[in-house]
Structure 1
């Protein structure tokens, strides 16, 4: 009897009414996100000529536009980066003098 006074009336109860918390419903996954990601995959051939040029923050939007990437990440030596692969992301790798050493998608 004492325990029932401590139980919140807002706590969900399982469909079987066995006093076990009900799990929330799983998230809805749509295929439109996957289709959108594939549609915005970046194209390196359009920007390979940027390798060897000095990096300029103002040029990032141009590289993004020319490659068709929806995201851009600039990586300098010893920068930490996540290992998740995103085909729609342009990675601009710089050397110690802020010269573009490589461009990659992912």
Structure 2
């Protein structure tokens, strides 16, 4: 089931259950049930329509970074050319060098290679994100 359809299922169930609440006359029950079924069908149909520009429910892009390809750099001294070659070898779009005590944003980017270095610029870890 697609994500929009799973969001609408509880609404449809609530509408059907509301039609069964006590205090309604049999005629009201039939009308409310028909309305609930119609509303659920319309909701299911609208869930089939993709969002405009595919933005709202589009899955995130698949990560392209593969840090396993550059693990051999751990222990080496980082140079600009090494960082760029590591980015290319890992298939990452960007590279970020993380130095000791540096403030770092915590958002995950599956297309970014992170190279962690110590105070002497020696590479201590290489990971994607």
- TM-score when normalising by structure 1: 0.65
Residue segments in structure 1 that go unaligned for 5+ positions in a row: 1-26
Runs of 4+ in 1 over 2 A off after TM superposition: none
Residues 1:34 and 2:56 aligned together: no
Aligned-residue CA RMSD in angstroms? 1.9
Answer 1 or 2: which has greater helix percent. 2
| Cα distance in 1 between the residues matched to 2:99 and 2:80 | 13
Match of 1:59 among 63, 82, 106: 82
3-state SS, counterpart of residue 67 of structure 2:
coil
Q: Determine if the alignment matches structure 1 residue 95 to structure 2 residue 118.
A: yes
Q: Whose Rg is larger?
A: 2
Tell me the number of residue pairs that the alignment of Structure 1 and Structure 2 aligns. Answer: 76
Please give the alpha-carbon distance, in whole angstroms, between the structure 2 residues aligned to 1:58 and 1:46. Answer: 16
How far apart, in 1, do the equivalents of 2:102 and 2:114 lie?
A: 12
Larger relative contact order (CA 8 Å, sep ≥ 6): 1
Q: Partners of 1:60 and 1:98 in 2: how far apart? A: 12
Scaled by the length of structure 2, the TM-score of the pair is: 0.54
